């Protein structure tokens, strides 16, 4: 998958949406991320919308 940058909030939402699309029955996922400022922001945005997809559990961000 490729995600072209747009807005931090949209990227955060899209991270979880992609997981939910690929795991329609829910599941556990891990996020592989660098420590760059923009990726930290995307991860924070992702965490803010986790409640929208209660069947997806992020078990680690590494």
Distance of alpha carbon 41 from alpha carbon 54, whole angstroms: 21
- What is the bridge-based pairing of β-strands 56-61 and 27-31? parallel
58 pLDDT tier (thresholds 50, 70, 90): very high
Whether residue 4 is predicted with pLDDT greater than 80 in this model: the reply is no
* Per-residue confidence (pLDDT) for residue 38, from 0 to 100: 85
Nearest residue to 57 via CA among 32, 30, 25, 22: 30
Partners of 29 in the β-ladder: 58
6-30 pLDDT, tens digit per residue, is 889 999 999 999 999 999 999 999 9
């Amino acid at each position: 998958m490729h995600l072209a940058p747009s807005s931090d909030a949209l990227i955060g939402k899209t991270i979880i949406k992609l997981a939910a699309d690929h795991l329609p029955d829910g599941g556990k996922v891990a996020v592989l991320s660098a420590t760059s400022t923009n990726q930290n922001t995307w991860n924070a945005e992702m965490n803010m919308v986790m409640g929208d997809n209660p069947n997806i559990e992020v078990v680690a961000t590494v």
